[in-house]
A = this chain, B = another copy of it.
Amino acid sequence: MLTLYSFGPGANSLKPLLTLYEKGLAFTPRVLDPSKFEHNAPWFTALNPNGQVPALDHDGKVIVESTVICEYLEDVFPDQVPLRPADPNQRAQMRVWTKWVDEYFCWCVSTIGWNRMVSRMVAHMSDEEFEAHVANVPIEEQKLKWRRARHGFPQALLDEEMAKIARSVKKLEARLSESPWLAGPDYSLADICNFAIANGMQHGFADLVNATDTPRLIDWIARINARPAAREMFARSKREWTPREQ
């Protein structure tokens, strides 16, 4: 039995969600509420000591880290709609892209997203209530991020992250100008994992992601949204507190 603990269908939570829908695997969704710091509650940190979603429970064994969960689903269900290229070279290209999104692209977009949205999510709390929640955040760097979301990120950091986003968008556009999908001729985890971050940027970062400047990226986002699995995922998935940037 598969149970996926996640937020709504955006960012890192989208990666295993869309993978499960693409592969047509039955699973029980458990949507957590970040505004209640539910992912740092004791019942959940008992499952994932890092206090992070997504987490997949497969017959009582818990797999964490969104990209690792996607590879795990391929390892366990390799023949059920394969989402990794069979060719080792293309599979390596796929991993270069899933690694890049995890190490670079997701962080810059995340910081701006936290600055815009998470700040509003915690604005209504008293200092005491907020700090009581932050005390339960297991990862030290995440505590800092929550405090910055509440009290403000340094402008120099926001500027740097915006510059990284601009570079990321150009990189994706360049790749999609030479290949229909990120890892090569076939749709793969490379696309799913980058779509998790890029989807919605045509609204939230419209000055960077638009039909004039990044036509290939816009087309790729639309092609993934049009896939039956993506349509089903968005139709069925519960949103958490608020959508990301849409």
Number of interface residues, chain A, beta carbon within 8 A: 24
Q: Any chain B CB within 8 A of the CB of A145? A: no
Instruction: Tell me if A64 and B96 are in contact (CB < 8 A).
Output: yes
Q: Any chain B CB within 8 A of the CB of A173? A: no
Distance A58 CA – B91 CA, assembled complex (angstroms): 14
| Selected interface stretch from A18-26, A71-79, A194-202, A223-231 | A71-79
Other-chain residue from B64, B68, B92 in contact with A68 (beta carbon distance below 8 A): B92
Q: Any chain B CB within 8 A of the CB of A185? A: no
29 A-B pairs in the complex with CB atoms less than 8 angstroms apart: A58-B89, A61-B89, A63-B89, A63-B92, A64-B96, A65-B95, A65-B96, A65-B99, A67-B95, A67-B99, A68-B92, A68-B95, A68-B99, A69-B92, A71-B91, A71-B92, A72-B88, A72-B89, A72-B91, A72-B92, A75-B88, A75-B91, A75-B92, A76-B88, A99-B102, A102-B103, A103-B103, A140-B163, A140-B167
- Whole-angstrom distance from the CB of A139 to the nearest CB of chain B? 9
What chain B residues lie within 8 Å of A72 (beta carbons)? 88-89, 91-92
Q: How many copies does the complex hold?
A: 2
Residue of B with least CB distance to A103: B103
Could you list which residues of chain A lie within 8 angstroms of chain B, going by C-beta atoms? 58, 61, 63-65, 67-69, 71-72, 75-76, 88-89, 91-92, 95-96, 99, 102-103, 140, 163, 167
**Which one of A91, A92, A95, A103 has the greatest number of beta carbons of chain B within 10 Å?**
A92
Interface of A is mostly: helix
Distance A61 CA – B69 CA, assembled complex (angstroms): 28
What chain B residues lie within 8 Å of A103 (beta carbons)? 102-103
What chain B residues lie within 8 Å of A163 (beta carbons)? 140
- Whole-angstrom distance from the CB of A153 to the nearest CB of chain B? 16
Distance A41 CA – B72 CA, assembled complex (angstroms): 38
What chain B residues lie within 8 Å of A96 (beta carbons)? 64-65, 68
Residue of B with least CB distance to A167: B140
